[in-house]
Amino acid sequence: MKTWPVYLLHKTAEILEKVAQKKGAVKTLVYDSKFQNIKQLFALVCETQKYSSVLQEIINSTKLLKETKLRIHLAKVLVYDLLIGHGVKCGGTWKTMMMKHRSRLQAALARIKVKRKVSRNQDLLPSSFQQTRDDVIPRYVRVNTLKTTLEDVIDYLKREGFSYQGTACRLEDLSHLSGKRFLCDLHLQDLLVFSAKTAFHNHFLYKAGHIILQDKASCLPAFLLNPQVGSHVIDACAAPGNKTSHLAAMIKNKGKLFAFDLDAKRLSTMSTLLLRAGVTCHQLANQDFLKVDPQSSEYKEVEYILLDPSCSGSGMVCLRDEVSELQDEGRLQALATFQLRCLNHTLQFPRVQRVVYSTCSIHSQENEEVVSACLQQNPAFRLVHLLPNWPERGHEPFTECLRASTAKTRTHGFFVAMLERRPPQTDEENLLVITTLPSGGEEKQDTHQSGPSDEEQENTETANKQPTNPVSKKKRRNRKKHKKQEF
């Protein structure tokens, strides 16, 4: 059996310690680590974190720290490796040490199972991690159309013994894949879906950049932004780069793609990823997006912006327990303040027409509340109704937005909103008749249009859901219903 390098175990323990000290979210810390195999590190961190309370109980009952002098987070990694993983995969003195205590540790685990009346390790997990068949997230594979086509990838996989089942008709189809059967996703045409246990990290198509391993929810922002071929686009908080490569594919490597990230290490990793994906239209900048000058001539043609800022990461399945224990209102408020600043900044670019705002958070503070505050401060923009048939919507009244979750969409938790610039109104549309209320002395503004069509009349009957500023109660006007757009 292949052993894990000692450095991987050290790095996993280091990240777990930083998470416990609230020094950052798991995803950010993992990518900042510059570890060679990011996905391997992320998996080990998440799995150890999931079983954290069980591992703590085993370590306490066996007095392992006292006898080995190990630090708690390294002890958790090693005990997970021994009891719940695939045996002792580390080598050297650590393997010798853990084998010496194996019988006692196994007995402690067995006692916990008896006490809780369960037989499987996964049944020891907190309820937030308990998964039914419908809760398992499939393996999503995005076809990189910069290097290949959907048809060619399907043909290649069929020659390798995979069984293509066509395009999914409903979400439930994604939960019943097994073995080498796979489907095309029902919402995103360049996305293939496999059973959760299908591995591609060592596959030729992955190493050659022909496919990108990316959760379906993470594919939504670029897909919904849908920039035109040859346009100028900004990816505001770009690392690790999967969304950037998706944007490049959308514009077919034509036009310009400006990608910003404040972290030089993450940007370096991203550069390697983009090179493998065949992206050539990008311009990377190790720069704080908030310090980018929207009025610079360099960005005068930018019409599309994707903003996926730092967030709590509470939608990531492996972080559910961590988020519930470690995040407080203060930290969420700080994140929301930063996210609102970023979203407001995107709307300052003079020619921007569409902005997609997304997070991998389940918290309203980082999602609907940020969008609400932004719309109040930027009346020239409105929400676009996204994917009308999507099964999970934003919280009322922001149902134009999308939410995603394991149970309802078979993805990680996610939130997506799209803001677009309102079209300029004609003088006739802006004709205002000011009337004085008989008792309150307030003024009301009504918009009158000459000869409205049936469609226009229907649109004006529905009030705009954009929040209004309490300060402006004295003067109101009816606004058009948010434009609905299907993709």
CA angle centred on 381, ends 255 and 261, rounded to 5°: 50
360 is catalytic: yes
Amino acid (one-letter) located at 454: D
208 annotated to a ligand binding site: no
407 annotated to a ligand binding site: no
* Exposure string over 47-73, b if 16+ CB within 10 A, otherwise e: bbbbbbebbebbbeebebeeebebebb
169 annotated to a ligand binding site: no
For residue 114, the number of C-alpha atoms closer than 13 Å in the C-beta half-sphere is 6
| DSSP symbols for 151-208 | HHHHHHHHHTT-EEEEE-SSGGGGGS--TTEEEE-SS-TTEEEE-TT---TT-HHHHT
For residue 64, report the phi and psi dihedrals to the nearest 5 degrees. Answer: -65, -40
CA angle centred on 269, ends 234 and 48, rounded to 5°: 110
| DSSP symbols for 229-243 | TT-EEEETT-TT-HH
Q: At what angle do helices 72-83 and 52-62 cross, to 10 degrees?
A: 100
Catalytic residue among 90, 219, 342, 360: 360
- Sign of dihedral through CA atoms 305, 363, 383, 467? negative
Q: How far apart are CA 211 and CA 182, in angstroms?
A: 14
With residue 106 as reference, give the H or E element that holds it: helix 102-116
Q: Which two tokens stand for residue 282?
A: 């990008």
Q: How far apart are CA 52 and CA 58, in angstroms?
A: 10
Q: How far apart are CA 237 and CA 78, in angstroms?
A: 35
470 annotated to a ligand binding site: no
217 annotated to a ligand binding site: no
Tell me how far the alpha carbon of residue 61 is from its chain's centroid. 38
185 annotated to a ligand binding site: no
237 annotated to a ligand binding site: yes
Contact at 8 Å (CB) between 326 and 19?
yes
Tell me how far the alpha carbon of residue 35 is from its chain's centroid. 21
242 annotated to a ligand binding site: yes
- Give the start-end residues of each E strand in 308-348: none
330 annotated to a ligand binding site: no
155 annotated to a ligand binding site: no
Binding residues: 237-243, 261, 288, 308
Residue ranges for the binding site for S-adenosyl-L-methionine?
Answer: 237-243, 261, 288, 308
Active site residues: 360
